[in-house]
Structure 1
């Protein structure tokens, strides 16, 4: 038996190694390489399509495609018509995949813009183009081509044969881009040959098949232009296999004695999800190695089988006692889920370690989560969310969470942290939650030294609360008042902030806590806004006595409104500081200060309406009264009023004052776009606008973000590149067509593009 085993095992190992490691690794590595290549190239395809969507959305939101087109007389306003045609011309040349760019308007009448202006008279054409406004969402993809919509028989035939004419991709964006009632559509038709060539890059080999399909399984584009019946059958079989392999994006597929590495993935488009599928042949690479390894495995397995039969008799007698012991110690062992690499003793050790580890993990997780459960329960309790529970249920739940409640009294403390506006050098305006978190940690550390049972609640808005549970015979309230003084000192030294500590009366039952919490929330509005820390006793009426209301400073309000109206930021801030000083003097309460600031906000918004500025649009639809009412500190109120109310209005007024310069620059840019072929200069354009050249140059830079000559050069270079790509004109003729001398044109083109015009044309043509 040993001789048989020694003789057969090397051959068997060799065959298995060759088959499992060599062949299996070849298949896996080939499949992984194919999947990796497909994913990288699919990202490129996705980026190209996403760029088209982004480009079209950019143009759809242009003002020139706005609601003004609904009533525009395109024959009378020839310049605007020419500008639309030029824009579509630029859009068509902005991406090599675009075949045509069209604009269809339903109002004021059915009009089609492409290379020129066309009024549609044919009812069949009008119906075909109107279909774009009833299909899909505001932005969508389709394979409907309006110019072929009347020839349905030809289109159906082309669709079956996967030809260009019946399977073109069309990207539609209804206009205006921001309107819910569009009256037109920007229509981009892709060049199907170029899309097919782009899709063919997903197949790294000459053989195989690549195609793109929609959510319904219909083929949109294929990377194989000439597709016969056999390829269509293979394509249909691939679709069925892809539908079955939903758990993996790569698999091996055997079709007609040929094995293919199939990779597929999703391309998320703006209105739907497309699926790309790529199949590359695999069997021809691995079939010779498979045959040799199979012969070796079969020969070696036959020799080994004889040895296994002989060894079975002896091993059964030896192993039977071990099997009985394993069955007794691990009665629930599942053979299907057991790791076959482990022997029986390792299985026993593994099970013991797993049980021990699970026990320790469960205990650790319970200890970690218990403080959070306690704090969450107390927060729900004091906020009144557990009103449905009776006294016995509440006490039982508190005992389950580790609280001792028998013979105990309950005390609530609320802490409000002020002086945050002075910390802007250390913390930003959005760091209130971080500061509150730090303060809560300090509260817990200080309270642990005084009270035996506490639970601290973090409200994340520069306020917190703490529940203290103490024996009934202890003077817990006096201890809390002394503890508040210690907390004030620690917070002042550590965070450089002031603290208002409010102490409630002791409660004998947890059910009284929600009512105490509401009383404290109401009483805090009548605390004094004086600078510094405060310790307040809810039962001491002197802490919350109503002060005589300070008079509203109407004179300062008028000064603030006048400074804002004139756009004087510094003056408005100075008067607002005087206003804040006036309303916070004489121990005014937080409630009084907040009401006066709300009144000032209302007056400012009324002034904005009088000057033609809508507060709702200026503040982005935000409820400014609600935001102001959440701020407690006068200093923060003042900072918020300056940054969120005054500055946006002053900036809006400044922008409106610059509108005439913007119109001058826009007219100059349009003049350049239309006359770049002629000799242009800054002086001639300034004379046309009756301005001095320096003023026009400064306005041009301020509005457009570039110099006059840089913009003129960019327009001429774009036109030259288009002529190089789309015509066979000589370089000299192209230079003259865009307004340059030949020698200077070559220098400026190479400086801008990094290569000469001839090199650019050869690169574009793929030479």
Structure 2
């Protein structure tokens, strides 16, 4: 969801370009295929529909031709019937009933054999009678009917059509009829005739079946007379005008084509026509069907194609949008990553340009960071090795240390390791050339010297400056060299270092080489052991090179400790004789050096002397923490290695502060003053007193009085006054019935403060104390 919210926030140029491209790729083929299907398919379907329509029309015309052929056969058979000869002139239709009946049956058969025939009638000249299957046997009543029938017989043609023949005794009727003169084939002197009346409705229906809907179909002869008529509800003036126009067009059309398109009243008609020659006449069958009606199925199918195309186009749009989002999603995620950092121009419209700019910026920053990291790697490695060698990373395994060092550009896998520790001496022998503050400067110079010497022979060297004129060197050695070769190389390195320090700094050097190890995990422990080995240096030797294995050998020489001299020093310190004590300590140092030259043994003897003096000071009831301002005496002594420094430390840092305190304590007049002050404080326990008031009374400064009071009594003035008042409070609680508020008021305390102080010293409230001692 987060990704979708990011996408919906901003759309850049690439998104719209991708969307447009996908739309073109997806929608144009769909639209192109839809158009092709619409036009080509529609045209093809229209052609096929027109073809089917024409085939249907041809089939209908053929059917009509069959009807007319059947009619023609019936007419011809009737015209040349041998039984219909001149004997009919003498026939008495009433008397010769059987003959009349046979004729009537013949008429019925003819009518039933062809649906276009409505009725058949027989007229014989001079009989004034007419007989038919519809009217039966009738007498002609009017002169007009008789003249009409005779005029039909006088026609030159043996068989012909009459398109407006009225029926006998029906003066208002007009019928299509076929006249057949008897005997058949005789043009003149016919004695009678057959009249075949056509069924106009069936003829109209048969022709109208050629079209449907708004189409027009009609049949006309070579003279332009219509064989079909329009019913009152169908025939309109517009249709008749359309028929007349089509007649003129067909009559004027000399082409062989029997179909054409015709525009009429803003409509397009597909017109087809065919010729029929039957019964001595030529007819033309015409159908005019609106093109819209013909292609109505095509139109619906075309609409379906259009809708399918629109649906496909819509689906293509949705798929294009979906595909564009999927294509754009990785670009958007990259852009959002860069926008989150706020390091670039987030207003860029072209995401690729923006990402490219950000990528270049990231590469530039990466290069800068890489340079900085490369520059800081040595410092990080030095810091890591310093912590490791001091034992702070004891939880790391061998593999973890190897991997960590690889990160600091040191490949120590399958290497050998060694430690060298150097201690500088002799600063006091240079006659004030170096002060105490120059220790760090000298140590720095010495570390630079050994760094330069080691870098010439080894690639991986770490130098630790302990800031106390001692230096540690961590060496990573080539495992292909033997131990003898490595030992020789380390000895050569130590010798060169001693020579360099002697020449440059004019100092003495004690250097210790550790054992060679295959495991880096052991190096902190080896460093500690190597530093301890410095204690085995000989004070009478200027420069020394020691091996770790040498100082571990048991000493065969028996140590002699100057106990008598120790007791004399302690007595002198107790007497407050600073100079005499300093001379005896120097003599004590020389005695230790003469018994055992190892610095470790000398240092242990001085530590024992410190303990004896410490016990003597404690016996004088002196607060050591206050006297030496919280300094750890044994730790300070452990940091010293030069004999002269140790002697000076005993005199100025240990004995002198104690002697000054002892001098104050033994001032008789001052002690008597403090005793008088203590008596006065006991008397003034119910008064509001202060240290300044008593200082004025005894003519002494408040600070000197406060210091003397604390040195002699071991407690300051305020605490002593509190104790005296608490003692008086306990006395009043037991001997009187005074309330705690009254007692606090007499002692010049707030009740709450008095209760709190009472509980602090007695672990009981005043009330509990009274109840306990009552």
TM-score normalised to the size of structure 1? 0.39
Q: Which has the larger radius of gyration?
A: 2
TM-score normalised to the size of structure 2? 0.39
